[in-house]
Amino acid sequence: MSWQLLDQLTHWHWFILGLLLLIGEAMGAAGFLLGTAIGTLVTGVLVWLSVLISGSAISWEAQVLLAAILSVICSVIYWRFFRAEKQSSDRPELNHRAGQLIGRRLVLEQDIEFQGRIQFGDTFWKVRSEEVLKQGDTVEVTDADLTTLTLSKVD
């Protein structure tokens, strides 16, 4: 490839590249191409404005550098402020089955000596407690990790 071809870089090249990146994003890139697409589209606008204002385009080296810098800035802004992980949910326990059990009470059908297994619905759970729990005690789930529930006796 001849470097002289890059001297012919115009705002249309940046617009086309930006649209191709947006199409790639729409096909399921999960946000990875969005910052680069926006950075290249903004570069296209800036190159177009430079031609309108000064009558000549920015050098291809400056265009590529500008596109790279804008792509990084737009990507960081997107990942920092607009990702779904940063948004709060009104149901944070939705996909956390053990977390959904916190606050639930039940009457024990067997003794539990610090650790054991109980059944909630159709699932058997490992449980732990800071005290010995007897059959017939009413207990409450006070904490949960992925596979273990923490029980405490309700007075």
Domains and CATH numbers, the chain: 3-86 (no CATH), 97-153 (2.40.50.140)
Q: For the chain, what is the mean pLDDT?
A: 85
Which of 64, 1, 7 shows the shortest CA–CA distance to 36?
A: 64
Question: Given pLDDT bands bounded at 50, 70 and 90, which one contains residue 137?
Answer: confident
Per-residue confidence (pLDDT) for residue 91, from 0 to 100 = 65
d(CA 38, CA 143): 44
Q: Report the range out of 11-15, 77-81, 116-120, 122-126 with the highest average pLDDT.
A: 11-15
Which residues are CB-neighbours of 41 under 8 A, at least 6 positions away?
Answer: 14, 15, 18, 19
pLDDT at position 98 is: 75
Alpha carbons 140 and 155: distance in angstroms, whole number: 10
More confident of the two residues 5 and 50: 50
